[in-house]
Amino acid sequence: MDQASFTEICLHQLKMSGVHEGEKLVVLTQGNDRLDYADAFLAAGQRLGAKMYHMRLPAPLPTGGWNVGQTGLAAMPEAVNALKNCDMLIDCIFLLFSPEQLAIQAAGTRILTAVEPPELLARMLPYKELREKVEIAGDMLGKARMMRITSPHGTDVTYKLNTYPAVKEYACTDEPGRWDHWPSGFVFTGGDDDGVDGQIVVAPGDILLPQNIYVREPIIYTIKNGWIEDIRGGLDAELVKGYMESFNDKRGLGMSHVGWGMNPKAKWHRMVPGEFPGGMGMEPRSFYGNVMFSTGPNNELGGPNDTACHLDIPMRNSSLFLDDEPIVIDGDIVVKEIQMERA
């Protein structure tokens, strides 16, 4: 994508995020990564009369891997303070789950994460109807006290919902202290720390993130009192267990967030190798009617678990009920108020 076109889609994003004249915006990058994102956002923000700044952190030292919640800001309290004093932070690094992001949000700065490839950002621009439907769904989820997920493959698990808020992601942010991720389009919450029980069967065609692979054979999770007791299956199950064990942190066996996808522009089948190099899987997290459960940290929701061991697993053809009322049936949203037309 040429830089002029990239600037135009960033302009649309900033308008959707309520950016106006006189606001102070900071674009955060690291090393040589996504400098074109900074240029596009800076140009777009200037057209809206915002005060635009670019904060570029040094490239990280080689560590052999990347863990959620660990950022270059951890050793830079002065930089964190500067970000607390802006109106909006455009995060082109990925600060989610980090103490630094939580502190910046608590100070009232709204945050937009933008790390996916420009071509995907252009195809999944935020729009008014998506926000409206996600907000209705989030209100429904926030009122529920029990979630049940089932599937033809053998999933039958319940989440008690008495502790954590419902989070609404619709790919833009215009409220102080609010975070969102572009692209997105889903709602989620967390079960009580000891309130998730049952079995989840991840079926062929479901997706493992951050591995960015389609599951080839079933993975069977047994969950009791909010913790994974057993993971069974073939090669994919062994891959998951090996990944989790590599963190040497048993808190990775905790249950993280859970919810469903609502974006009809997101496609399950588009996560193909080489299509969008560098993507981190926001499209499969968002595709319409998926039911996604996650393992590991829940500090994003205000919980105590800040482990770096995190998996997101969007599942197809599953059913989700809130207080026994059907919301998603066999991978399709059945509540009229939150249905959207699929392409």
Render pLDDT for 289-332 as a digit per residue (tens, 0 to 9).
Answer: 999 999 999 998 999 999 999 999 999 999 999 999 999 999 99
pLDDT at 274 over 70: no
Check whether residue 54 and residue 86 sit in a common domain: yes
Check whether residue 306 and residue 334 sit in a common domain: yes
Check whether residue 231 and residue 309 sit in a common domain: yes
For 120-146, the pLDDT digits (tens) are 999 999 999 999 999 999 999 999 999
Q: What average pLDDT does this structure show over 52-75?
A: 80
Q: What average pLDDT does this structure show over 185-206?
A: 98
Q: Is residue 343 part of a domain?
A: no
Q: Is residue 120 part of a domain?
A: no
Check whether residue 80 and residue 216 sit in a common domain: no
pLDDT score for 72? 84
pLDDT at 273 over 60: no
From 113-127, 158-172, 267-281, 317-331, the region with the lowest mean pLDDT: 267-281
From 165-174, 178-187, 211-220, 267-276, the region with the lowest mean pLDDT: 267-276
Check whether residue 105 and residue 9 sit in a common domain: yes
pLDDT score for 70? 77
Q: Is residue 268 part of a domain?
A: yes
Q: How many domains does the chain divide into? A: 2
Check whether residue 48 and residue 153 sit in a common domain: no
Check whether residue 146 and residue 61 sit in a common domain: no
Choosing from 70, 91, 115, the residue where a domain stops is 115
Under the banding of pLDDT at 50, 70 and 90, the label for residue 279 is confident
Cα atoms in the 13 Å half-sphere on the side-chain side of 104: 32
Q: Is residue 159 part of a domain?
A: yes
Check whether residue 101 and residue 144 sit in a common domain: no
CA 231 – CA 233 distance, rounded (Å): 7
pLDDT score for 270? 77
Check whether residue 92 and residue 183 sit in a common domain: no
| CATH code where residue 12 lies | 3.40.50.2300
Q: To the nearest whole number, what is the mean pLDDT of the chain?
A: 94
Residues 165-168: contacts with CB under 8 Å, at least 24 apart:
165/189, 165/301, 165/302, 166/138, 166/139, 166/141, 166/142, 166/259, 167/138, 167/257, 167/259, 167/300, 167/301, 168/134, 168/135, 168/137, 168/138
pLDDT at 66 over 80: no
Q: Is residue 52 part of a domain?
A: yes
Q: With contact defined as beta carbons under 8 Å apart, do 243 and 267 qualify?
A: no
Check whether residue 279 and residue 135 sit in a common domain: yes
Q: Is residue 22 part of a domain?
A: yes
Check whether residue 195 and residue 308 sit in a common domain: yes
Q: Is residue 121 part of a domain?
A: no
Q: What average pLDDT does this structure show over 61-71?
A: 66
Q: Is this prediction's pTM over 0.85? A: yes
Cα atoms in the 13 Å half-sphere on the side-chain side of 265: 17
Host domain of residue 287: 126-338
Tell me which residue of 66, 117, 121 sits closest to 95, measured CA to CA: 66
Q: What average pLDDT does this structure show over 55-72?
A: 76
Q: Is residue 323 part of a domain?
A: yes
pLDDT at 276 over 70: no
Check whether residue 89 and residue 149 sit in a common domain: no
Choosing from 115, 138, 159, the residue where a domain stops is 115
Q: Phi and psi for 292 in degrees, rounded to 5?
A: -115, 125
Choosing from 60, 91, 115, the residue where a domain stops is 115
